[in-house]
Structure 1
Amino acid sequence: MSIKIEAKDLEAAYIKAASQLGCSTINLEITPIRPARKGFLGFFQKDGLFEVAIKKDGEKKVKKPKNNNNERVEKSDRSEKVKTPKIESTHKNSEKIDTKTTINQSEIKSEPVKPQPAKKQTLNIDHSIFDSFHKIDENQAAKSNDDMLIEIKAGLDKLFGVSMFDIEVSELSIYDADTIYIKLDGADAALMIGKEGYRYKAISYLLFNWVNARYNKGIRLEIAEFLKNQESSMAAYLSGVIERVELIGKAQTKPLDGVLVKIALEQLRNRFPDKYVGIKNSDEGKFIVINDFHKK
Protein backbone atom coordinates (compact mmCIF):
# COMPACT_ATOMS: atom_id res chain seq x y z
CA MET A 1 0.00 0.00 0.00
CA SER A 2 1.41 3.37 -0.99
CA ILE A 3 0.13 6.95 -1.16
CA LYS A 4 1.42 10.25 -2.48
CA ILE A 5 1.82 13.25 -0.18
CA GLU A 6 2.81 16.85 -0.78
CA ALA A 7 5.03 18.44 1.90
CA LYS A 8 7.68 21.13 2.16
CA ASP A 9 10.42 18.70 3.18
CA LEU A 10 11.08 15.05 4.07
CA GLU A 11 10.45 15.51 7.79
CA ALA A 12 7.06 17.08 7.17
CA ALA A 13 6.24 14.24 4.77
CA TYR A 14 6.97 11.64 7.48
CA ILE A 15 4.75 13.41 10.01
CA LYS A 16 1.89 13.91 7.54
CA ALA A 17 2.03 10.31 6.29
CA ALA A 18 2.14 8.86 9.81
CA SER A 19 -0.97 10.83 10.80
CA GLN A 20 -2.88 9.75 7.67
CA LEU A 21 -1.91 6.06 7.80
CA GLY A 22 -2.16 5.79 11.59
CA CYS A 23 1.23 4.20 12.12
CA SER A 24 4.70 5.10 13.38
CA THR A 25 7.19 6.91 11.20
CA ILE A 26 9.60 3.97 11.75
CA ASN A 27 7.34 1.71 9.63
CA LEU A 28 7.28 4.13 6.66
CA GLU A 29 9.36 4.21 3.50
CA ILE A 30 9.29 7.55 1.65
CA THR A 31 10.65 8.13 -1.84
CA PRO A 32 10.97 11.74 -3.13
CA ILE A 33 9.30 12.20 -6.52
CA ARG A 34 9.50 15.96 -7.01
CA PRO A 35 11.76 18.25 -4.89
CA ALA A 36 10.26 21.25 -3.13
CA ARG A 37 10.76 24.71 -4.65
CA LYS A 38 11.82 27.45 -2.18
CA GLY A 39 10.81 30.35 -4.42
CA PHE A 40 12.09 33.90 -4.22
CA LEU A 41 11.31 36.35 -1.39
CA GLY A 42 8.38 34.22 -0.29
CA PHE A 43 6.83 33.91 -3.80
CA PHE A 44 6.55 30.92 -6.13
CA GLN A 45 7.01 28.36 -3.36
CA LYS A 46 5.88 24.82 -4.12
CA ASP A 47 5.80 21.72 -1.90
CA GLY A 48 7.59 18.58 -2.91
CA LEU A 49 5.87 15.34 -3.86
CA PHE A 50 6.66 12.15 -1.96
CA GLU A 51 5.57 8.51 -2.37
CA VAL A 52 4.87 6.83 0.97
CA ALA A 53 4.71 3.08 1.55
CA ILE A 54 4.35 1.02 4.69
CA LYS A 55 7.12 -1.47 5.38
CA LYS A 56 6.23 -5.18 5.25
CA ASP A 57 7.18 -5.64 8.91
CA GLY A 58 4.76 -2.88 9.85
CA GLU A 59 1.86 -4.58 8.02
CA LYS A 60 2.38 -7.82 9.89
CA LYS A 61 2.23 -6.12 13.25
CA VAL A 62 -1.55 -5.73 13.58
CA LYS A 63 -2.80 -4.61 16.92
CA LYS A 64 -5.45 -6.92 18.30
CA PRO A 65 -7.69 -5.96 21.20
CA LYS A 66 -6.78 -7.76 24.31
CA ASN A 67 -9.33 -9.64 26.39
CA ASN A 68 -8.50 -8.03 29.67
CA ASN A 69 -11.26 -9.79 31.58
CA ASN A 70 -10.12 -13.31 30.64
CA GLU A 71 -6.50 -12.53 31.40
CA ARG A 72 -7.42 -11.13 34.80
CA VAL A 73 -9.35 -14.29 35.68
CA GLU A 74 -6.46 -16.51 34.59
CA LYS A 75 -3.94 -14.45 36.56
CA SER A 76 -6.09 -14.55 39.70
CA ASP A 77 -6.34 -18.34 39.46
CA ARG A 78 -2.60 -18.69 39.06
CA SER A 79 -1.91 -16.37 41.97
CA GLU A 80 -4.16 -18.40 44.27
CA LYS A 81 -2.28 -21.55 43.35
CA VAL A 82 1.09 -19.97 43.92
CA LYS A 83 0.17 -18.41 47.28
CA THR A 84 0.71 -21.54 49.42
CA PRO A 85 2.93 -20.47 52.30
CA LYS A 86 5.77 -22.79 53.13
CA ILE A 87 6.26 -22.19 56.81
CA GLU A 88 8.76 -24.94 57.35
CA SER A 89 11.15 -23.75 54.69
CA THR A 90 11.06 -20.19 56.02
CA HIS A 91 11.87 -21.43 59.56
CA LYS A 92 14.84 -23.40 58.27
CA ASN A 93 16.15 -20.50 56.28
CA SER A 94 15.87 -18.14 59.27
CA GLU A 95 17.75 -20.62 61.47
CA LYS A 96 20.55 -20.83 58.90
CA ILE A 97 20.77 -17.05 58.68
CA ASP A 98 20.93 -16.73 62.49
CA THR A 99 23.77 -19.25 62.76
CA LYS A 100 25.71 -17.52 60.03
CA THR A 101 25.30 -14.12 61.63
CA THR A 102 26.40 -15.38 65.05
CA ILE A 103 29.50 -16.96 63.51
CA ASN A 104 30.37 -13.81 61.64
CA GLN A 105 29.91 -11.66 64.76
CA SER A 106 32.18 -13.93 66.80
CA GLU A 107 34.85 -13.74 64.14
CA ILE A 108 34.64 -9.95 64.10
CA LYS A 109 34.97 -9.71 67.88
CA SER A 110 37.89 -12.12 68.03
CA GLU A 111 39.89 -10.26 65.37
CA PRO A 112 40.00 -6.52 66.19
CA VAL A 113 40.91 -4.31 63.27
CA LYS A 114 44.09 -2.33 63.77
CA PRO A 115 43.87 1.25 62.46
CA GLN A 116 46.45 1.92 59.78
CA PRO A 117 48.39 5.14 60.05
CA ALA A 118 47.51 7.66 57.35
CA LYS A 119 50.13 8.06 54.68
CA LYS A 120 51.69 11.49 54.58
CA GLN A 121 51.63 12.99 51.14
CA THR A 122 54.80 14.74 50.14
CA LEU A 123 54.70 17.48 47.54
CA ASN A 124 57.71 18.08 45.37
CA ILE A 125 57.82 21.87 45.08
CA ASP A 126 60.27 23.66 42.86
CA HIS A 127 61.33 26.51 45.14
CA SER A 128 63.17 28.26 42.35
CA ILE A 129 59.91 29.77 41.12
CA PHE A 130 59.56 31.68 44.41
CA ASP A 131 62.86 33.49 44.06
CA SER A 132 62.22 37.21 44.19
CA PHE A 133 63.21 39.46 41.34
CA HIS A 134 64.65 41.96 43.83
CA LYS A 135 66.62 39.39 45.86
CA ILE A 136 70.36 39.98 45.96
CA ASP A 137 72.25 36.75 45.45
CA GLU A 138 75.49 35.85 47.21
CA ASN A 139 77.62 36.51 44.15
CA GLN A 140 76.31 40.07 43.83
CA ALA A 141 76.84 40.75 47.54
CA ALA A 142 80.45 39.67 47.24
CA LYS A 143 81.15 41.95 44.29
CA SER A 144 83.38 44.93 44.81
CA ASN A 145 82.34 48.54 44.31
CA ASP A 146 84.24 48.70 41.03
CA ASP A 147 82.29 45.77 39.59
CA MET A 148 79.05 47.32 40.80
CA LEU A 149 79.84 50.65 39.14
CA ILE A 150 80.74 48.87 35.89
CA GLU A 151 77.38 47.08 35.86
CA ILE A 152 75.47 50.27 36.67
CA LYS A 153 77.34 52.13 33.92
CA ALA A 154 76.50 49.41 31.39
CA GLY A 155 72.83 49.49 32.42
CA LEU A 156 72.62 53.27 32.13
CA ASP A 157 74.31 53.28 28.73
CA LYS A 158 71.84 50.67 27.52
CA LEU A 159 68.88 52.63 28.92
CA PHE A 160 69.78 56.01 27.43
CA GLY A 161 71.10 54.43 24.23
CA VAL A 162 67.58 53.44 23.17
CA SER A 163 66.00 56.75 24.26
CA MET A 164 65.44 59.77 22.03
CA PHE A 165 67.52 62.06 24.26
CA ASP A 166 71.12 63.01 23.49
CA ILE A 167 72.36 62.23 27.00
CA GLU A 168 75.21 60.22 28.48
CA VAL A 169 76.70 59.26 31.85
CA SER A 170 79.48 61.77 32.47
CA GLU A 171 80.36 60.67 36.03
CA LEU A 172 79.65 57.67 38.20
CA SER A 173 81.19 57.20 41.67
CA ILE A 174 80.60 56.17 45.28
CA TYR A 175 79.16 59.19 47.14
CA ASP A 176 79.13 57.48 50.56
CA ALA A 177 78.66 54.00 52.01
CA ASP A 178 74.95 53.93 51.07
CA THR A 179 74.77 56.25 48.06
CA ILE A 180 75.96 56.22 44.47
CA TYR A 181 76.57 59.49 42.65
CA ILE A 182 75.27 59.59 39.05
CA LYS A 183 75.80 62.59 36.77
CA LEU A 184 74.14 62.85 33.36
CA ASP A 185 75.03 65.45 30.76
CA GLY A 186 74.48 66.12 27.10
CA ALA A 187 72.75 68.30 24.53
CA ASP A 188 69.29 67.34 25.82
CA ALA A 189 70.06 67.84 29.52
CA ALA A 190 67.46 70.60 29.81
CA LEU A 191 64.81 68.31 28.32
CA MET A 192 65.75 65.61 30.81
CA ILE A 193 65.16 68.08 33.67
CA GLY A 194 61.79 69.31 32.43
CA LYS A 195 59.65 72.19 33.65
CA GLU A 196 60.06 72.68 37.41
CA GLY A 197 62.13 69.47 37.45
CA TYR A 198 59.26 67.05 36.86
CA ARG A 199 61.32 64.86 34.49
CA TYR A 200 64.24 65.01 36.91
CA LYS A 201 61.97 63.58 39.64
CA ALA A 202 60.68 60.82 37.37
CA ILE A 203 64.17 59.73 36.26
CA SER A 204 65.48 59.92 39.82
CA TYR A 205 62.62 57.73 41.05
CA LEU A 206 63.18 55.22 38.24
CA LEU A 207 66.94 54.91 38.82
CA PHE A 208 66.55 54.72 42.60
CA ASN A 209 64.14 51.77 42.40
CA TRP A 210 66.49 49.90 40.08
CA VAL A 211 69.73 50.53 42.03
CA ASN A 212 68.15 50.04 45.45
CA ALA A 213 66.44 46.79 44.49
CA ARG A 214 69.53 45.31 42.84
CA TYR A 215 72.42 46.69 44.92
CA ASN A 216 70.69 47.97 48.10
CA LYS A 217 72.03 51.48 47.53
CA GLY A 218 70.57 54.97 47.22
CA ILE A 219 71.43 57.44 44.48
CA ARG A 220 72.33 61.11 44.16
CA LEU A 221 71.35 62.17 40.65
CA GLU A 222 72.81 65.23 38.95
CA ILE A 223 71.75 66.35 35.46
CA ALA A 224 74.10 69.03 34.12
CA GLU A 225 74.23 71.54 37.03
CA PHE A 226 70.57 71.26 38.06
CA LEU A 227 71.07 69.73 41.51
CA LYS A 228 73.99 72.00 42.33
CA ASN A 229 72.04 75.14 41.36
CA GLN A 230 68.99 74.02 43.32
CA GLU A 231 71.09 73.36 46.42
CA SER A 232 72.80 76.77 46.24
CA SER A 233 69.51 78.65 45.77
CA MET A 234 67.88 76.69 48.60
CA ALA A 235 70.85 77.38 50.90
CA ALA A 236 70.42 81.12 50.25
CA TYR A 237 66.71 80.94 51.09
CA LEU A 238 67.20 78.79 54.21
CA SER A 239 69.67 81.24 55.73
CA GLY A 240 66.77 83.40 56.92
CA VAL A 241 64.91 80.35 58.28
CA ILE A 242 68.02 79.22 60.16
CA GLU A 243 68.40 82.68 61.77
CA ARG A 244 64.78 82.54 62.94
CA VAL A 245 65.30 79.10 64.50
CA GLU A 246 68.40 80.29 66.31
CA LEU A 247 66.49 83.31 67.72
CA ILE A 248 63.13 81.83 68.78
CA GLY A 249 63.83 78.09 68.56
CA LYS A 250 61.33 77.30 65.82
CA ALA A 251 60.40 78.24 62.25
CA GLN A 252 58.84 76.93 59.06
CA THR A 253 59.56 77.27 55.36
CA LYS A 254 57.31 78.48 52.59
CA PRO A 255 55.47 75.87 50.50
CA LEU A 256 58.02 74.00 48.42
CA ASP A 257 57.61 71.81 45.38
CA GLY A 258 59.43 68.96 43.72
CA VAL A 259 63.02 68.25 44.57
CA LEU A 260 63.26 71.43 46.69
CA VAL A 261 61.50 69.70 49.58
CA LYS A 262 64.13 66.98 49.71
CA ILE A 263 67.03 69.45 49.43
CA ALA A 264 65.65 71.71 52.16
CA LEU A 265 64.92 68.77 54.47
CA GLU A 266 68.47 67.44 54.07
CA GLN A 267 70.12 70.82 54.73
CA LEU A 268 67.97 71.65 57.76
CA ARG A 269 68.47 68.26 59.37
CA ASN A 270 72.22 68.57 58.95
CA ARG A 271 72.08 72.06 60.50
CA PHE A 272 69.76 71.13 63.44
CA PRO A 273 70.38 67.48 64.37
CA ASP A 274 68.88 67.99 67.88
CA LYS A 275 65.59 69.47 66.68
CA TYR A 276 62.49 68.10 65.05
CA VAL A 277 62.59 68.74 61.29
CA GLY A 278 59.62 67.32 59.41
CA ILE A 279 57.42 67.78 56.35
CA LYS A 280 53.87 69.08 56.71
CA ASN A 281 51.10 69.34 54.12
CA SER A 282 48.85 72.30 53.42
CA ASP A 283 46.46 73.43 50.70
CA GLU A 284 49.27 75.36 49.02
CA GLY A 285 51.76 72.47 49.09
CA LYS A 286 54.40 70.89 51.32
CA PHE A 287 56.46 72.86 53.82
CA ILE A 288 59.05 72.05 56.51
CA VAL A 289 58.73 72.85 60.21
CA ILE A 290 61.59 73.09 62.70
CA ASN A 291 61.00 73.02 66.48
CA ASP A 292 61.93 71.17 69.63
CA PHE A 293 61.11 67.49 69.87
CA HIS A 294 58.77 67.98 72.86
CA LYS A 295 56.99 71.00 71.37
CA LYS A 296 55.73 69.81 67.98
Structure 2
Amino acid sequence: MVLAVTAGLAAAMTACAGPAAETGRPAPAVTTTVSPLPSTSSAAPSVAQSAPETPSSSASVPSKTTVAPTSKAAAPTGRVVVIDPGHNGGNSTHTAQINKQVPAGRGRTKPCNTTGTATQTGYPEHAFTWDLAVRVRELLTARGIKVVMTRPDNAGVGPCVDKRAAIGNESGAAAVVSLHADGSTAAGAHGFHLAYSSPPLNAAQGEPSLRLARALRDKMVAGGLATSTYAGTEGLSPRDDLAGLNLTERPTVLVECGNMRDAAEAAVLSSPAGRQRYAEAIANGILGFLG
Protein backbone atom coordinates (compact mmCIF):
# COMPACT_ATOMS: atom_id res chain seq x y z
CA MET A 1 0.00 0.00 0.00
CA VAL A 2 2.46 2.70 1.02
CA LEU A 3 6.13 3.21 0.30
CA ALA A 4 7.97 6.49 0.61
CA VAL A 5 9.06 7.86 -2.77
CA THR A 6 12.74 8.34 -3.41
CA ALA A 7 14.61 9.69 -6.42
CA GLY A 8 14.48 6.17 -7.85
CA LEU A 9 10.76 5.49 -8.09
CA ALA A 10 11.29 1.83 -8.96
CA ALA A 11 11.97 1.22 -5.29
CA ALA A 12 8.56 2.65 -4.41
CA MET A 13 6.53 0.08 -6.30
CA THR A 14 6.56 -2.60 -3.63
CA ALA A 15 4.35 -3.60 -0.70
CA CYS A 16 1.51 -1.22 0.02
CA ALA A 17 0.84 -1.33 3.76
CA GLY A 18 3.31 -3.81 5.12
CA PRO A 19 4.69 -2.87 8.52
CA ALA A 20 8.23 -3.24 7.21
CA ALA A 21 7.59 -0.55 4.64
CA GLU A 22 6.43 1.94 7.24
CA THR A 23 8.03 1.05 10.54
CA GLY A 24 10.88 -1.34 9.82
CA ARG A 25 9.28 -4.18 11.74
CA PRO A 26 8.45 -7.43 9.92
CA ALA A 27 4.93 -8.13 8.75
CA PRO A 28 3.02 -10.66 10.88
CA ALA A 29 3.36 -14.13 9.39
CA VAL A 30 -0.01 -15.83 9.69
CA THR A 31 -1.01 -18.62 7.36
CA THR A 32 -4.59 -19.03 8.48
CA THR A 33 -7.53 -18.61 6.11
CA VAL A 34 -11.07 -18.92 7.33
CA SER A 35 -14.11 -20.60 5.98
CA PRO A 36 -17.08 -18.33 5.18
CA LEU A 37 -18.41 -16.61 8.26
CA PRO A 38 -22.00 -15.62 8.99
CA SER A 39 -23.03 -12.03 8.37
CA THR A 40 -22.80 -9.68 11.33
CA SER A 41 -26.39 -8.65 10.70
CA SER A 42 -28.70 -11.04 8.90
CA ALA A 43 -31.27 -8.29 8.49
CA ALA A 44 -28.84 -5.75 7.05
CA PRO A 45 -29.62 -4.44 3.55
CA SER A 46 -27.40 -5.82 0.82
CA VAL A 47 -26.32 -4.65 -2.60
CA ALA A 48 -27.76 -6.74 -5.39
CA GLN A 49 -24.93 -8.70 -7.00
CA SER A 50 -24.80 -8.65 -10.79
CA ALA A 51 -24.22 -11.84 -12.72
CA PRO A 52 -20.45 -12.41 -12.71
CA GLU A 53 -18.50 -12.50 -15.93
CA THR A 54 -16.95 -15.84 -16.74
CA PRO A 55 -13.29 -15.50 -15.72
CA SER A 56 -10.42 -17.46 -17.11
CA SER A 57 -8.86 -20.04 -14.83
CA SER A 58 -5.84 -17.80 -14.27
CA ALA A 59 -8.06 -14.97 -13.03
CA SER A 60 -10.05 -16.86 -10.42
CA VAL A 61 -10.16 -15.59 -6.88
CA PRO A 62 -8.26 -17.99 -4.60
CA SER A 63 -11.31 -19.19 -2.71
CA LYS A 64 -13.59 -22.21 -2.84
CA THR A 65 -16.63 -20.30 -1.66
CA THR A 66 -19.58 -19.73 -3.99
CA VAL A 67 -22.47 -17.52 -2.92
CA ALA A 68 -25.77 -16.67 -4.53
CA PRO A 69 -26.51 -13.06 -5.44
CA THR A 70 -28.07 -11.10 -2.63
CA SER A 71 -31.39 -9.35 -3.05
CA LYS A 72 -32.06 -5.64 -2.79
CA ALA A 73 -33.60 -4.22 0.34
CA ALA A 74 -34.36 -0.78 1.68
CA ALA A 75 -31.18 1.11 2.60
CA PRO A 76 -30.60 3.30 5.63
CA THR A 77 -30.85 7.01 4.89
CA GLY A 78 -29.23 10.14 6.27
CA ARG A 79 -25.80 8.51 6.66
CA VAL A 80 -22.43 9.73 5.39
CA VAL A 81 -19.68 7.33 4.36
CA VAL A 82 -16.17 8.45 3.42
CA ILE A 83 -14.36 6.37 0.80
CA ASP A 84 -10.60 6.92 0.67
CA PRO A 85 -8.98 5.56 -2.53
CA GLY A 86 -5.31 5.11 -1.68
CA HIS A 87 -2.50 7.09 -3.35
CA ASN A 88 -3.05 9.20 -6.52
CA GLY A 89 -2.02 9.19 -10.18
CA GLY A 90 0.19 12.27 -9.93
CA ASN A 91 2.19 11.24 -6.88
CA SER A 92 5.11 9.76 -8.82
CA THR A 93 5.90 13.07 -10.52
CA HIS A 94 5.65 15.20 -7.38
CA THR A 95 8.19 13.57 -5.09
CA ALA A 96 8.97 16.69 -3.04
CA GLN A 97 5.31 17.14 -2.14
CA ILE A 98 4.62 13.58 -1.16
CA ASN A 99 7.90 13.09 0.72
CA LYS A 100 7.10 16.02 3.04
CA GLN A 101 6.74 14.81 6.61
CA VAL A 102 3.29 15.19 8.18
CA PRO A 103 1.75 14.14 11.52
CA ALA A 104 1.00 10.42 11.69
CA GLY A 105 -0.41 10.10 15.20
CA ARG A 106 1.10 8.57 18.35
CA GLY A 107 3.79 11.27 18.25
CA ARG A 108 5.13 10.16 14.88
CA THR A 109 5.53 11.68 11.43
CA LYS A 110 5.68 10.08 8.01
CA PRO A 111 5.70 11.06 4.31
CA CYS A 112 2.65 12.94 3.08
CA ASN A 113 1.76 10.12 0.66
CA THR A 114 3.33 7.46 -1.56
CA THR A 115 3.04 6.04 -5.08
CA GLY A 116 1.69 2.64 -4.07
CA THR A 117 2.48 -0.70 -5.64
CA ALA A 118 1.59 -2.30 -9.00
CA THR A 119 1.07 -5.68 -10.60
CA GLN A 120 3.92 -7.37 -12.42
CA THR A 121 2.27 -6.27 -15.68
CA GLY A 122 2.20 -2.62 -14.60
CA TYR A 123 -1.38 -2.04 -13.42
CA PRO A 124 -0.92 0.54 -10.62
CA GLU A 125 -2.51 0.47 -7.22
CA HIS A 126 -3.68 4.09 -7.52
CA ALA A 127 -5.73 3.18 -10.62
CA PHE A 128 -7.18 0.12 -8.89
CA THR A 129 -8.21 2.02 -5.77
CA TRP A 130 -9.81 4.86 -7.77
CA ASP A 131 -11.84 2.50 -9.98
CA LEU A 132 -12.90 0.44 -6.96
CA ALA A 133 -13.89 3.56 -5.00
CA VAL A 134 -16.10 4.81 -7.85
CA ARG A 135 -17.83 1.42 -7.98
CA VAL A 136 -18.42 1.39 -4.22
CA ARG A 137 -19.70 4.96 -4.36
CA GLU A 138 -22.20 4.09 -7.08
CA LEU A 139 -23.50 1.11 -5.13
CA LEU A 140 -23.90 3.10 -1.90
CA THR A 141 -25.47 6.20 -3.45
CA ALA A 142 -27.99 3.94 -5.17
CA ARG A 143 -29.01 2.84 -1.65
CA GLY A 144 -29.46 6.38 -0.34
CA ILE A 145 -26.05 6.80 1.31
CA LYS A 146 -24.16 10.09 0.94
CA VAL A 147 -20.58 9.30 -0.10
CA VAL A 148 -17.63 11.65 0.34
CA MET A 149 -14.40 10.84 -1.53
CA THR A 150 -11.00 11.96 -0.23
CA ARG A 151 -9.80 12.77 -3.75
CA PRO A 152 -11.82 13.91 -6.80
CA ASP A 153 -9.98 11.98 -9.52
CA ASN A 154 -6.90 9.89 -10.29
CA ALA A 155 -4.80 12.67 -11.84
CA GLY A 156 -3.86 14.73 -8.80
CA VAL A 157 -1.35 14.61 -5.95
CA GLY A 158 -2.11 13.41 -2.44
CA PRO A 159 -3.89 14.48 -0.36
CA CYS A 160 -1.55 13.84 2.53
CA VAL A 161 -2.44 11.07 4.96
CA ASP A 162 -3.29 13.51 7.76
CA LYS A 163 -5.60 15.45 5.44
CA ARG A 164 -7.38 12.25 4.43
CA ALA A 165 -8.08 11.54 8.09
CA ALA A 166 -9.29 15.11 8.57
CA ILE A 167 -11.78 14.75 5.70
CA GLY A 168 -13.35 11.80 7.48
CA ASN A 169 -13.41 13.60 10.82
CA GLU A 170 -14.90 16.81 9.43
CA SER A 171 -17.60 14.96 7.49
CA GLY A 172 -19.02 13.37 10.63
CA ALA A 173 -18.93 10.08 8.75
CA ALA A 174 -20.70 7.03 10.12
CA ALA A 175 -17.90 4.98 8.54
CA VAL A 176 -14.58 5.64 6.78
CA VAL A 177 -13.16 2.95 4.49
CA SER A 178 -9.69 3.34 2.95
CA LEU A 179 -9.08 1.18 -0.12
CA HIS A 180 -5.69 -0.31 -0.98
CA ALA A 181 -3.97 -3.35 -2.48
CA ASP A 182 -0.77 -4.91 -1.21
CA GLY A 183 2.53 -5.76 -2.88
CA SER A 184 3.99 -8.61 -0.85
CA THR A 185 6.73 -10.62 -2.53
CA ALA A 186 6.37 -13.54 -0.11
CA ALA A 187 5.79 -16.84 -1.90
CA GLY A 188 2.10 -17.71 -2.07
CA ALA A 189 1.00 -14.52 -0.32
CA HIS A 190 -2.58 -13.67 -1.26
CA GLY A 191 -5.92 -12.70 0.22
CA PHE A 192 -7.40 -9.59 1.85
CA HIS A 193 -6.95 -8.16 5.32
CA LEU A 194 -8.51 -5.25 7.19
CA ALA A 195 -6.40 -2.95 9.34
CA TYR A 196 -7.80 -1.01 12.31
CA SER A 197 -6.20 1.15 14.99
CA SER A 198 -4.87 -0.79 17.96
CA PRO A 199 -4.51 0.07 20.73
CA PRO A 200 -7.30 2.61 20.16
CA LEU A 201 -6.66 6.28 20.89
CA ASN A 202 -10.32 7.25 21.23
CA ALA A 203 -13.74 5.63 21.48
CA ALA A 204 -14.36 5.54 17.71
CA GLN A 205 -11.11 3.61 17.16
CA GLY A 206 -12.25 0.95 19.60
CA GLU A 207 -15.34 -1.24 19.26
CA PRO A 208 -16.97 0.79 16.41
CA SER A 209 -13.92 0.38 14.16
CA LEU A 210 -13.55 -3.27 15.09
CA ARG A 211 -17.25 -3.84 14.34
CA LEU A 212 -16.79 -2.16 10.94
CA ALA A 213 -13.78 -4.40 10.23
CA ARG A 214 -15.76 -7.52 11.14
CA ALA A 215 -18.73 -6.46 9.01
CA LEU A 216 -16.50 -5.92 5.99
CA ARG A 217 -14.58 -9.14 6.61
CA ASP A 218 -17.76 -11.20 6.85
CA LYS A 219 -19.27 -9.81 3.65
CA MET A 220 -16.00 -10.20 1.74
CA VAL A 221 -15.76 -13.83 2.85
CA ALA A 222 -19.43 -14.32 1.96
CA GLY A 223 -18.59 -12.89 -1.48
CA GLY A 224 -16.08 -15.68 -2.04
CA LEU A 225 -12.91 -13.70 -1.26
CA ALA A 226 -10.12 -15.37 0.70
CA THR A 227 -8.59 -13.88 3.83
CA SER A 228 -4.88 -13.16 3.90
CA THR A 229 -2.37 -15.97 4.15
CA TYR A 230 0.41 -13.61 5.29
CA ALA A 231 -0.95 -10.72 7.38
CA GLY A 232 -3.33 -10.51 10.31
CA THR A 233 -5.51 -13.28 11.69
CA GLU A 234 -8.74 -14.36 10.01
CA GLY A 235 -8.64 -11.25 7.85
CA LEU A 236 -8.20 -8.75 10.72
CA SER A 237 -4.96 -6.85 11.31
CA PRO A 238 -4.54 -4.51 14.34
CA ARG A 239 -2.06 -1.71 13.54
CA ASP A 240 -0.52 1.24 15.39
CA ASP A 241 1.59 2.62 12.53
CA LEU A 242 -0.93 3.89 9.95
CA ALA A 243 -1.63 7.63 10.04
CA GLY A 244 -5.17 7.42 8.72
CA LEU A 245 -6.08 5.00 11.50
CA ASN A 246 -4.18 6.82 14.25
CA LEU A 247 -5.69 10.22 13.43
CA THR A 248 -9.29 9.21 12.86
CA GLU A 249 -12.16 10.22 15.14
CA ARG A 250 -14.68 8.11 13.19
CA PRO A 251 -15.08 4.32 12.80
CA THR A 252 -12.34 3.60 10.24
CA VAL A 253 -10.89 0.57 8.50
CA LEU A 254 -8.19 0.20 5.84
CA VAL A 255 -8.86 -2.61 3.36
CA GLU A 256 -5.92 -4.34 1.69
CA CYS A 257 -8.02 -6.02 -1.00
CA GLY A 258 -5.38 -8.47 -2.16
CA ASN A 259 -1.79 -8.92 -3.24
CA MET A 260 -0.99 -7.30 -6.59
CA ARG A 261 2.23 -9.35 -6.84
CA ASP A 262 0.39 -12.68 -6.77
CA ALA A 263 -0.31 -13.58 -10.42
CA ALA A 264 -3.76 -15.12 -9.89
CA GLU A 265 -4.96 -12.40 -7.54
CA ALA A 266 -3.48 -9.64 -9.72
CA ALA A 267 -5.53 -10.92 -12.66
CA VAL A 268 -8.71 -10.48 -10.63
CA LEU A 269 -7.74 -7.07 -9.26
CA SER A 270 -6.91 -5.91 -12.79
CA SER A 271 -10.23 -6.98 -14.34
CA PRO A 272 -13.47 -4.94 -14.33
CA ALA A 273 -15.43 -8.03 -13.25
CA GLY A 274 -13.01 -8.64 -10.39
CA ARG A 275 -13.19 -5.04 -9.18
CA GLN A 276 -16.99 -5.16 -9.31
CA ARG A 277 -16.91 -8.28 -7.16
CA TYR A 278 -14.79 -6.51 -4.55
CA ALA A 279 -17.00 -3.41 -4.75
CA GLU A 280 -20.18 -5.36 -4.09
CA ALA A 281 -18.66 -7.18 -1.12
CA ILE A 282 -17.30 -3.95 0.39
CA ALA A 283 -20.56 -2.06 -0.16
CA ASN A 284 -22.49 -4.90 1.47
CA GLY A 285 -20.12 -4.79 4.44
CA ILE A 286 -20.64 -1.05 4.87
CA LEU A 287 -24.41 -1.42 4.64
CA GLY A 288 -24.28 -4.24 7.16
CA PHE A 289 -22.35 -2.03 9.57
CA LEU A 290 -24.77 0.87 9.14
CA GLY A 291 -27.69 -1.44 9.80
Q: Would you call these one fold, judging by a TM-score over 0.5?
A: no
Q: Which has the larger radius of gyration?
A: 1
Q: Taking CA–CA contacts closer than 8 Å with sequence separation of 6 or more, which of the two structures ends up with the larger relative contact order?
A: 2
Report the TM-score, using the length of structure 1 for normalisation.
0.21
From the two aligned structures, give the one with the greater helix fraction. 1
